[in-house]
A and B are shown apart, each in its own frame.
Chain A
Amino acid sequence: MRADPFTAELKVPAARSAVAQSLSRPNSEDPVVRIPVWIGVVLRIILFFFTNASSFLQLRVEVSTPVTSWKRLREGLYLYQNGIAPYEGGVFHQAPLLLAIFNFLPPILIPILFIALDYAIARGLVEIAQYKRKLQIAEIWPAPTSDDSLIDAVPVEAPKPEIPSPENTPADSVAWLRKPASDDDVLQSTDDIPQSVHKRKNVNFASQEEDIVPPWLANDNCRLVQGDSAHAPINAPQLKPSDPTQPVDVILHPEDIGAMYLLNPYSIITCLSQSTLLFTLIAIVGGIQYAIKGNRNASMLFIAVAAYLSFYPAMMMAPAILLLSTQTSRPVMQALKSALPLFLAFLVALLGLSYLLVGTWDFLPSTYGVILSVPDLTPNIGLFWYFFIEMFEQFRPFFLCVFQIMVFIFVIPIALVFREHPLFVAYATTAIMAIFKSYPSVGDTALYLAFFTMHQELYKYMRNMFLVFNALFFASILGPLFHYLWVYAGSGNANFYFAITLVFGLAQIILLTDTGHALILREWERLHPDLRRKRVELVHQ
């Protein structure tokens, strides 16, 4: 079952790189597509300097956890500056180097810094999305073998419920029929591309052609109708909107991913709350970004910083190493062997620096110790706090171990199963972190949602989109409300808010697994052209 895909994929990398270079050049210089990103930035500036949203959000449990709260950082900074050991007490649990950063920063620059961080994260995501776009364009859908031993199961005259009006369909067909003559660099560049990739030309034109129209129109698929020459629409009098044997993919717009992140309410409130989580996020994004560039040292440095700041991102090693191995086209084990020592070295260096800063190792139990053993049970959107408030004392260590293992247990398997899709591995790991870390906040959710929006081609394979996003929406509304009823009005009790955190977690888990299934199904259909074309029934085991 899994044997043939690899045979089919063997010559892909070369093809990918070739096509990729030639294809996604024009996209990056288009002023229009940057508008949403700048809207996001301007929105942050307005909210920071013209409203008191920041001071309000700094105190919200959804965004500021004990290990990222800005207020606690200020307390730690105050203690540090007044010569009191900041890690002696039970308030400050953040990494020492943060103290070093904010020790010298003039207060006026602090909002600027956080906005800049968010913008940098967005840019990093955009770069990652450009890579994803290349992959998407260079993706190979092997052509069906042309034996007609199996007659088509789809009756051609089985009409779709609404037949497109005749005036726009020919336009489309003509539109893409006209094109092949007009472009040549692709023709040159596609010399080394296997026969089955030729149909990709259309995609190329489509992508360029839809690059000059404003980005939102990219959602209108009639502009990028693709079909391979085997199914030329001329001899099919009533053209279906898309070739039934091949999905219509929206070519990804990298800038949109940045916009998706910057306009995401979760990331907006995270930025406004000045949560130090942003440092972790940018380190994660940077790690992936440099891994894509094939820059091993930088990516390891970034991931080491992320792990140093909030421990869990250590598991981002998995996608980073996969990316390094694909980009530098070396086997995974070799990449691992060369990267792991670097990572450890950077980590040790960072810890050493912090030791020099605070002059004691107290910060180890007070940061990583707190993350692991969860002594501070302040509510957040995660699953730990109420569980360990209600946990019986003698079982506490056991369940702590179980929960912490749960976070890491699937990283290696996911990396192995999806090793062909490192970005999906990145998405899965960030999602798992956001759901199961001991002090999660909506900032983590914002990050992996950005990765999720990169996999737009999976949407139409997913079953529970409506459920998931409604659940997230309801949880986002009812969470603060029930927290208010419990903590302020006193009319509701803790179970209200706990129930909402459960819903939030459940929705995210469903989203994760749903995406995974979608990817697997899509891979099957991509790699089995004949059976896909016949649309045979599938079972899974």
Chain B
Amino acid sequence: MALFRRKAASAQPSDTPAAVKELRRPHMRRVVAYYVRKTLTLFSWIFYPVGVIWLLLLPRDEFHHKASVDENALLPGQTTKYFSSMDMYAVNSYRLRVNQLASQTRSPAEYAAFIQSELNGFGMEASIQNFVLATNQGATIGANSYGISRAARGDGTEAIVISSPWMDDGGKVNADGVGYVLAFAKFVTKFSHWSKDFIFLVTHPSPMGTRAWLEAYHGEQPGPNDALQYDPLETHSGAIQEALNLEFGGEGDYAAIEILVDGLNGQLPNADLVTTVVNCAQYEGIPVALHQAVTPEKFDSNWTRYLHKADILAEYMKSQALGLPRSDHALYAKYHIESITLRAIKDIPGAQYRVSGEQIGRAIESALRSFNNLLERLHHAYWFYIMPTAASYIPISVYIPPVILLSVTLVFQSLVMWWMSGEPGQTAPARSQRIKDSPYVARSPQLSSFNTRTRPIFLPIVTMFLCHATGAFALYMSPTILYIAQHGDINPLNMAACVLIVTAVIYGFMIPTLQRLMEGSGASTATTAPAWMVVKCIACAELGAALIALSTLNPSLSIALAIPSVPAFLLAKPTGSHNSFAIQLIALFLASPIGILGAISLLTGLGTAQDLVRRSADGWSLYGAWLFPFVLLVYWPLNLVGHVIVGMEQ
């Protein structure tokens, strides 16, 4: 404040102080406003590094909270378990029979028939759902089998799903998982303390089977020309509250249990569900892994601890940012069903002992008992968290500030652009002078409301519209592109690459030229702001808003997109010098989807990037993952706008 005062005094020409006495407050207001504005104009980029540094600090333990259960009714691990070696024997025998059956036949119908007959044997209402998935690779025929065990006491209004895919995504038969499902189907019928129905579900192939089953369960009917066609279900239970998905692709010799939490589009289950499962497992002495890593009790140094947790966090954010279904549990989130996948890990470094089957069984049982205790849906704990280890989390209050800081930089940038396009180059406001021999006081010239420049609207609108139209068209064309890529065995990545690069070039150079033709150039005249400022103002505002909005759905994706694109947009402006032109283009290219893919392929090889493209495209067409359309409809068009800005006139 004092500084402003001094500056203001210096800016004041020699004049009678009497003239300004009445105007001290408005003058101070103007001065403060001026300096705030100047500071923002110069230093708004500072939020970006701050956000990045904050992100880098997240793996430190100070930011982690010990996971605790908020819902008092859960009482994880407090019940007496009845899962005994008898039931374990059932698991093993079923595993053998499943393996045997899988070796004999390949038809899903027979698998389903086997499951159904078993479930019927336990006195359940079991039935089979057939479905067909027609893709451009051909038709896939599948069958789900499920059985409902009515709770002895309940009125059948709530249900818990215990599911397992017949095969895990590695194509290996999930014999042990199916074994556990069947064993539990037999197990639950022995007790009358269940107050919720149980639905035992075996899907094949999965996760498509899970999608078919869930949609049918919620009464949806496939449209006549949908890729996925499925039968309606014969019987239903009540509202599904929780779902537990089991993937044990082994022979019962495991070192740890891995939990998979993040679902489609990175939607997370309620934290209480995760905490309950983890507590129940740890209560049984099972080491719980997250992203294939079990966090040891003690580290030899803080640095290794940091590295370990940073590694897990990176993995976590990667999978959340992609938002593609990693296992069956991913698809339940859409229906507001809290779900989690338990996946057994064969061996992890530093595992002292193996986990016995009874331990796993008892862990699952006590988790089921906890869910059974619930009187309401899980609603006490939150849904927004990031997990550095299986037993701790980073709450939204800690991780959201850096995410917002990253993207809010763009909002400030757009504000700066607004100012610059409005009244350019302001100097510190001079004190108003009293007009000679008159009682009036004259405003300083900058403050006139008459000399604001008007902002060209048409050119920016056309630019934004064209870029977004390209994105929409690309989205519309994407199936064809992939089809061509698969059948003319062209590498889809290269194909996408050339398409994107070509369009980027077109937009970088043709649109500005077009604009010059149609518009007499969007250059600034005496009374109009240069068009590029307005374009950048709109583009920054839109991208900033999109990223901020995204941070509530999928913070990881927001971060992953903000980190490359924010600097590119801060830099982007028409320039004369070739160096800065090249730098801007490179930055924009690195921020473009194809640039990111290129970076990935440089780091992890071309295969990963290709796989990524195909999986995200399939994720959109098959499961409705938002990553693909978001990039094509919002992110990439804005990147093109960036190119346009670089190419426009000053």
Q: A contacts B directly in the complex (CB < 8 Å)?
A: yes
Does the CB pair B450–A536 fall under 8 Å?
no
Does the CB pair A461–B526 fall under 8 Å?
no
Q: How far is B553's CA from A222's CA once the two chains are assembled, in angstroms?
A: 46
Does the CB pair B432–A537 fall under 8 Å?
yes
Q: How far is B235's CA from A263's CA once the two chains are assembled, in angstroms?
A: 49
Q: Mark A238-249, 1 if CB is under 8 A from B, else 0.
A: 001111111110
B579 close to chain A: CB less than 8 A: no
**Other-chain contact of A485, B411, B542, B552 (Cβ < 8 Å):** B552
Within 8 A of A (CB), among B1-50: 22-23, 26
Q: How far is B450's CA from A481's CA once the two chains are assembled, in angstroms?
A: 40
A534 close to chain B: CB less than 8 A: yes
Taking CB atoms, residues of chain A closer than 8 Å to B527 are 220-222, 225, 241-242, 248
Q: Mark B438-470, 1 if CB is under 8 A from A, else 0.
A: 101111010011111111111100000000000
B268 close to chain A: CB less than 8 A: yes
A531 close to chain B: CB less than 8 A: yes
B383 close to chain A: CB less than 8 A: yes
A46 close to chain B: CB less than 8 A: no
Does the CB pair B425–A460 fall under 8 Å?
no
Does the CB pair B528–A222 fall under 8 Å?
yes
Give A248's nearest chain B residue, CB to CB.
B527
Taking CB atoms, residues of chain A closer than 8 Å to B455 are 219
Does the CB pair A150–B526 fall under 8 Å?
no
Q: How far is B528's CA from A241's CA once the two chains are assembled, in angstroms?
A: 10
Q: How far is B548's CA from A474's CA once the two chains are assembled, in angstroms?
A: 9
A83 close to chain B: CB less than 8 A: no
How many B residues face the partner with a CB closer than 8 A? 56
Within 8 A of A (CB), among B316-358: 333-334, 336
Within 8 A of B (CB), among A481-509: 481-482, 485, 488-492
Given the contacts A219-B457, A461-B449, A466-B415, A535 and B443 also touching, CB distance less than 8 Å: yes
Taking CB atoms, residues of chain B closer than 8 Å to A244 are 445, 448, 450-451
Does the CB pair B525–A240 fall under 8 Å?
no
Q: How far is B438's CA from A244's CA once the two chains are assembled, in angstroms?
A: 20
How many A residues face the partner with a CB closer than 8 A? 54
Q: How far is B553's CA from A247's CA once the two chains are assembled, in angstroms?
A: 46
Does the CB pair A521–B449 fall under 8 Å?
yes
Taking CB atoms, residues of chain A closer than 8 Å to B26 are 537
Does the CB pair B424–A161 fall under 8 Å?
yes
Q: Mark A335-375, 1 if CB is under 8 A from B, else 0.
A: 00000000000000000000000000000000000000000
Does the CB pair A169–B441 fall under 8 Å?
no
Does the CB pair B525–A470 fall under 8 Å?
no
Q: How far is B415's CA from A107's CA once the two chains are assembled, in angstroms?
A: 48
**Other-chain contact of B451, A150, A160, A225, A488 (Cβ < 8 Å):** A160
Q: How far is B527's CA from A162's CA once the two chains are assembled, in angstroms?
A: 10
A477 close to chain B: CB less than 8 A: yes
Give A224's nearest chain B residue, CB to CB.
B527
B418 close to chain A: CB less than 8 A: yes
Does the CB pair B526–A474 fall under 8 Å?
no
**Min CB–CB distance A535 → chain B (angstroms):** 5
Q: How far is B448's CA from A248's CA once the two chains are assembled, in angstroms?
A: 12
Q: How far is B377's CA from A222's CA once the two chains are assembled, in angstroms?
A: 65
Q: Mark B518-529, 1 if CB is under 8 A from A, else 0.
A: 000000111110
Q: Mark A507-539, 1 if CB is under 8 A from B, else 0.
A: 000000000000001000100000100111101
**Min CB–CB distance B459 → chain A (angstroms):** 8
Q: How far is B526's CA from A279's CA once the two chains are assembled, in angstroms?
A: 45
Given the contacts A242-B451, A481-B549, A153 and B267 also touching, CB distance less than 8 Å: no
**Min CB–CB distance B367 → chain A (angstroms):** 21
Within 8 A of A (CB), among B236-277: 267-268
B53 close to chain A: CB less than 8 A: no
**Other-chain contact of A220, B336, B445, B525 (Cβ < 8 Å):** B525
Q: How far is B450's CA from A248's CA once the two chains are assembled, in angstroms?
A: 7
Given the contacts A247-B450, A473-B541, A150 and B440 also touching, CB distance less than 8 Å: yes
A216 close to chain B: CB less than 8 A: yes
Within 8 A of B (CB), among A129-179: 149-151, 153-155, 158, 160-162, 164, 168-169
B571 close to chain A: CB less than 8 A: no
A186 close to chain B: CB less than 8 A: no
**Other-chain contact of B440, A158, A247, A461, A531 (Cβ < 8 Å):** A531
Does the CB pair B525–A151 fall under 8 Å?
no
Taking CB atoms, residues of chain B closer than 8 Å to A539 are 22
**Min CB–CB distance B497 → chain A (angstroms):** 30
A97 close to chain B: CB less than 8 A: no
Q: How far is B459's CA from A460's CA once the two chains are assembled, in angstroms?
A: 20
The list of the 7 closest CB pairs from A to B, nearest first, reads A216-B458, A164-B526, A491-B383, A153-B442, A161-B425, A221-B527, A241-B526
Known A219-B456, A244-B450, A490-B336; 19 more pairs at CB < 8 Å:
A150-B435, A150-B438, A151-B436, A162-B424, A168-B525, A219-B454, A220-B527, A222-B527, A222-B528, A241-B451, A241-B526, A246-B450, A460-B449, A474-B545, A478-B548, A488-B336, A489-B267, A537-B26, A537-B440
Which residues on B are within 8 Å of A, measured CB to CB?
22-23, 26, 267-268, 333-334, 336, 377, 379, 382-384, 411, 414-415, 418, 424-426, 432-433, 435-438, 440-443, 445, 448-459, 524-528, 541-542, 545-546, 548-549, 552-553
6 pairs, A vs B, C-beta closer than 8 Å? A153-B433, A241-B526, A248-B527, A477-B546, A488-B336, A536-B440
